[in-house]
Amino acid sequence: MINLCLLLLAAAGVRHQAADRLERLDFEAAGGAANQPEKAASNTALLNRLLDSLKPKDTLYISAKTFWLAGGVRLVNAHDVTLQLDGTLEFREGRSGWPEQQGNVCNLNPLQPKRSLNCVQEAFLIANVSRLTLTSGNQHGGTLNGNGKSWWGYIEYALHGEDRPRLLSIYNATDILVEKWHFVNSAYWTFTALDVARLEVRFCSVSARVDKAPEHNLGNLDAFNTDGFDVSGRDIYIHHSEVWNQDDCFTIQPRDRRGINSQCTENVLIENVNASGLGLTIGAVLPTLFHNCIRNVTFRKAYMFHTFKGIYMKSQNSPEPQASGEISNILYEDIYMERPTQVAIWIGPAQEADSYKACSLLWPVVPFVSCSPPSVAVLWENITLRRVQVHNPIQSPGVIYGNPKRPMKNITFENVVVVNPGHEPWGGSFYYCEGVNGLALNGTTPLPPCFQTSASTLLTT
């Protein structure tokens, strides 16, 4: 399904770039002040000057100490450089004094609503770069700490919505290696790499916690919107990494024909990962006039302990009648979940509060709330779940919800086993299942009620 040769060649090319640097700039030796929160603004100004001065084959070195920053760190228009983070870059708390940017720059991210007013700058923005290495010489890795607790919560969301800084935001980049970096308590999305080509992420982690509870309780969910790794583009490889957060964990975001490096997010492999949050996610795919698209994606060898959702594939609705979208050729295999809190397998409309005709977050628990089916403008095709085990889910196993006017095609469950499934909200049916051309094979249990159990039966229906 996925072009592994291409990914391996890309990864080899990325790994090669770390050698033979001409110059190493030392942030502390240049005047960076360690362990002094009051120096956050001057540290940020110095770091930006050094980043702006980097030439091809230069390395910027951050020693194994804590350096406070004020937000608005930028690496733009760089080629063939390395950032070696052996210590911690820690961003000061709260919105007060955080730098802002103009509305036209706020709209750089195509996944977010358009803004006419100013917005906060990203904590660390990387844009228009090629052959970039983010690494650490510390055996424990380096850390970006967003001090997100001061930004989280329902009151903050009511006041400011999603006007919060991403911890690391990469846009329009090619040939990138990110390794041994740890991302802690982002104010908003944690690691965002949009419109990239040939990205490898390895031995990295994301953590966003209100407390140390080993589940996603109501208190921890106060840190919503703390997405883990969000990526779009082509030839992307993420492995041997982990996420514990309160939103999507490893998320494949769409691209359309307006992309610079890719006109569809495709050729993505996520493997050997731990994830606990809203899951291993495809989308949400919003239909656009330029055909928003995700295809040829594999998730495999994932362990999910006390996750909220597990496998989560979602599309959005659009009021534009000429828009279109696509989710095709997706494989999940060798996935193990232990006691997921909510729906272990969700394939269907995005369940959220802030998009057109979204499926309500209260569905189906609260009577009379709506959950619109996926748009007929989105093609769902060739989706396989293979060797998926779910143990002791609190709720019913899942939702497979297509549009009866344009059913999902070739949805296959192979050896998808749910042990001791919960009975709420779907009771003995176990799944909410509608608008799907589905096939269950090789010991899948319980069976989604609208699936067939043999290919010959499927072909005649």
Q: Residue 11: its pLDDT value, please?
A: 44
Q: Residue 102: its pLDDT value, please?
A: 77
Same domain for 396 and 291?
Answer: yes
Q: Residue 7: its pLDDT value, please?
A: 47
Q: Residue 457: its pLDDT value, please?
A: 52
Q: Which residues of 365-378 are buried (b: 16+ CB within 10 A; e: fewer)?
A: eeeeeebbbbbbbb
The Cα-based distances of 460 to 250, 372, 409 in angstroms read: 37, 28, 14
Same domain for 332 and 444?
Answer: yes
User: Could you tell me the pTM of the whole model?
Assistant: 0.93
Same domain for 38 and 171?
Answer: yes
Q: Residue 15: its pLDDT value, please?
A: 37
Same domain for 195 and 320?
Answer: no
Same domain for 233 and 294?
Answer: no
Picking from 241, 263, 294, the residue at the C-terminal end of a domain is: 241
**Residue 171 near residue 130, CB atoms below 8 Å:** no
Q: Is residue 260 part of a domain?
A: no
Q: Is residue 29 part of a domain?
A: yes
Picking from 241, 269, 291, the residue at the C-terminal end of a domain is: 241
Same domain for 56 and 129?
Answer: yes
Q: Is residue 256 part of a domain?
A: no
Q: Is residue 332 part of a domain?
A: yes
Q: Residue 18: its pLDDT value, please?
A: 42
The CATH number covering residue 142 comes to 2.160.20.10
Which segments of the chain have a pLDDT < 70? 1-22, 110, 112-113, 116, 455-461
Q: Residue 107: its pLDDT value, please?
A: 75
Q: Residue 429: its pLDDT value, please?
A: 96
Percent of the chain surpassing pLDDT 90:
82
Per-residue model confidence as pLDDT tens digits over 413-436: 999 999 999 999 999 999 999 999
Per-residue model confidence as pLDDT tens digits over 30-53: 999 999 999 999 999 999 999 999
Q: Is residue 262 part of a domain?
A: no
Q: Count Cβ atoms within 10 A of the Cβ of residue 141 and give its class: 0-12 exposed, 13-18 middle, 19 or more buried.
A: middle
Picking from 191, 222, 241, the residue at the C-terminal end of a domain is: 241
Domain count, the chain: 2
Q: Is residue 39 part of a domain?
A: yes
Closest CA to 242 of 268, 277, 287, 218: 277
Q: Residue 224: its pLDDT value, please?
A: 87
Cβ-Cβ contacts under 8 Å for 158 (sequence gap 6 or more): none
**Residue 432 near residue 400, CB atoms below 8 Å:** yes
Q: Is residue 259 part of a domain?
A: no
Same domain for 23 and 114?
Answer: yes
Range of the domain at 361: 278-461
Q: Is residue 439 part of a domain?
A: yes
